[in-house]
A and B are shown apart, each in its own frame.
Chain A
Amino acid sequence: MLDGGAGAGSHVLQTLASAGDDHLGWENGGTARTIRRTWLDTFDWRLYRAGLTLQQVLRGGQAELVLASRDGDLVATERLPAGPRPKWPAMAAQLPAGTLRDAVARAAGIRALLPVARAVSSVGELQALNEDAKTIARLAVDRMAVTYPARASVPARLTLLPVRGYHGQAGKVGRAIGSLPGVSAGADSALEAALAAAGARPGECAGKPSPVQLAPDQPAAQAMAAILASLLAAIDANLPGTIRDIDTEFLHDLRVAVRWTRSALKLCGDALPKGLAAEFRPEFSWLGDLTTPTRDLDVFLLGYPRMATSLVGGSEADLVPFHDFLADSRAAAYRRLVAGLRSARSGRLRGTWRAALGDVRPAGRLTVAGLADIKIAAAHHKALRTGREITPASPAESLHDLRKRCKELRYLVEMFGSLHDPERLSHAVRELKALQDCLGEFQDADVQRAEIRGIAEQMMDGNRVPAQTLLAMGEIVAGLAVRQARARAQFAGRFADFAGPASRTRLAALARTAGPARSSRA
């Protein structure tokens, strides 16, 4: 691929057309074709991160999907049938069955495909001819105008396609074109070029809470404001997708950002101006609670196929009324969620929070490294103390409590992640995650058992449930109890690893490596 430079397309064509030597000639390949491209990816760029690009290409009234590697090698194509074209966003499962769908589904998982860029191209072609007037290569000149995410024009892109069996001769042609003034080798794919022209970059996703780049001696208040502003940006980024119900992960990521915010306010609120955390904690608690019913039902529905196929005594058909009940409940919960997210209270919360964060000024002598040390050490200590009190006879609530402490520790470690040595950080997170997974399995099973019981009662109240459905639901509850018992049996070992001297030393060291400057004289 070669870049023709701004406005260089016609110049290159003219230069080439008149540059035929004794052995090489050029012929115009006919009228330029108009091609409309829509590049598709998930909101968090799963295809791009898996080394793929997917585009819907419309030319001459025919539409096809083209899946290629980021280097441009074709992976699969799928011609779209005539008639109404797919409406984006869409799940991979809605694409026509075939190799392309399978590859896209593997990369996209449970996320929807949505347009990430759109462009209209006028593509002309020149044919390079040898001394027998035989075509040995085709040179496509693509003049692309980006229409989304912003209107922009892209320097003409030249692509030389050797005809089979003529790679040697075509290579010479390629070198000749590369030496023309105004032509340079371009490493970017068409998607990357389109996004760059529109001022964007593939792979950038504001929707995932991620560690903010911090300097160890940064004043703590200022650093916390930066962290919380980044979390607010993640909330804002996920809000439209949640309201449009594009896929379940918008709500999930929105909840994660809210949870991080709540933990940051709870654990580090004292680093912020007085009264700020106390003022906003109840509001973020409201926002978190607003999202819970829909998410709980999403978790049920996402896990439904696994539940249905795990039945031994019952059949999948028995569970259909349960599925319908979940789907109806989810629809009702979603309506309440959207009303809440669109409410004046939600808008006011985000507006006043943004303004309040903008007003935070450096105050006191505490640095962010010092704050991270203190808070990580305290959270670590608290998690160890809570865990040590758990015995085989302890109630489920005590494990739930430990799970919360571990989550808080994890948030702190990740929130201040940029202050730590990446290798130590990843090691510490891995050990913590092993314990969290066990606690998560235990609690999720416990909560789902209770929820299924509640749902069964509601279904019976409404007189909507056949006996075989209740029996199948009972089987699921029994399966959950087995999972819960297995997690409980694993707990002691996982906690022993976490509380062991090696892990303890690593986490303690993590707290210390936050930086030498515990306080600033400034």
Chain B
Amino acid sequence: MKVLATYNIKGGVGKTATAVNLGYLAARDGYRLLLWDLDPQGAASFLFRVKPRVKGGGEALIRGRRPLDDAIKGTDFAGLDLLPADFTYRNLDLALDSAKQPAKRLASLLAPLRGEYDIVVLDCPPSISLLSESVLHAADLLLVPLIPTTLSVRTLDQLTEFVAGFNGHQPDILAFFSMLDRRKRLHAQILQELPAQRPDIATAAIPALSLIEQMSVRRAPVAAFAPRTAAARQYRELWREARERARLPDPRA
């Protein structure tokens, strides 16, 4: 089982849209996938039409009073399950703080699901916190959406440096440009230069399109309701790069 996480300290950069579309594409390829919506805002849960509610709240899950298995919901897509968000997730840091080895807590909670899923995608809230540290420790691959600006790239470097300081397991990082506006000269320039120079930045880039915003109206991944569009094509390309980077075996092999 591989753990992928969409992570960025900033909000509104396309983490949830990426988690939802990559989750959909992976399941369509035959992988058994669980998406855990860790953001108390519950955007991924909303997009999959699942109520953002977990019995006992986030604390029951973190403390192990309720197995993750019990809270999982099937989505409308075969092979794609969701662990919904809950508004109590805003207090996950407190729950983690009182757990043993909080940084490794998510990894140990996910371990029993190893036989059931090929991939777990963690959709993280925008923050730098104990929860995000636990996510970084659990993940095999971090998918980091970047707005094509110099500051974003600087943040990526900070993240890379932070992860390099981990003892033992260190997640691989695949950043990608998101909310790309080719009409902006800076966006175009950064997109042209950086992926060629840095192997940690994907060649796929997700455009800023109203179609992606339409996801919240259609309540479905763009790759599902508009598969022939540029946005869906870029998500497919990003999924291809992520799959290679995470060295995921062919699910049908």
Contact = CB atoms under 8 A, between A and B. Distances in A.
Contact of A165 (B49, B72, B219): B72
A166 B71 CA distance: 11
A461 to B, nearest CB: 54
B74 interface: yes
A134 B76 contact: yes
B76 A165 contact: no
Given A79-B252, A164-B81, A133 B49 contact: yes
A197 B81 CA distance: 39
A163 B252 contact: no
B30 to A, nearest CB: 11
A484 interface: no
Nearest to A79: B252
B49 A164 contact: no
Interface string A164-177: 11100000000000
A135 B81 CA distance: 12
Contacts, number: 26
Interface in B68-118: 71-74, 76, 81
The range of chain B's interface size is: 10 to 19
B27 to A, nearest CB: 13
A132 interface: yes
A163 B51 contact: no
Given A79-B252, A164-B81, A135 B76 contact: yes
Interface string A126-163: 01000011110000000000000000000000000001
Contacts of B71: 165
A132 B76 contact: no
A170 B81 CA distance: 17
A47 to B, nearest CB: 26
Interface residues of A, number: 10
| Best-buried of A79, A127, A133, A164 by chain B (most CB within 10 Å) | A164
Given A79-B252, A133-B219, A166 B76 contact: no
A99 to B, nearest CB: 13
26 contacts: A79-B252, A127-B76, A132-B49, A132-B50, A132-B51, A133-B49, A133-B219, A134-B48, A134-B49, A134-B50, A134-B76, A135-B74, A135-B76, A163-B73, A163-B74, A163-B76, A164-B72, A164-B73, A164-B74, A164-B81, A165-B71, A165-B72, A165-B73, A165-B74, A166-B73, A166-B74
A163 B71 CA distance: 13
Contacts of B81: 164
Interface string A97-141: 000000000000000000000000000000100001111000000
A165 B73 CA distance: 5
Contacts of A134: 48-50, 76
Contacts of A132: 49-51
A163 B252 CA distance: 23
A275 B100 CA distance: 93
Contacts of B219: 133
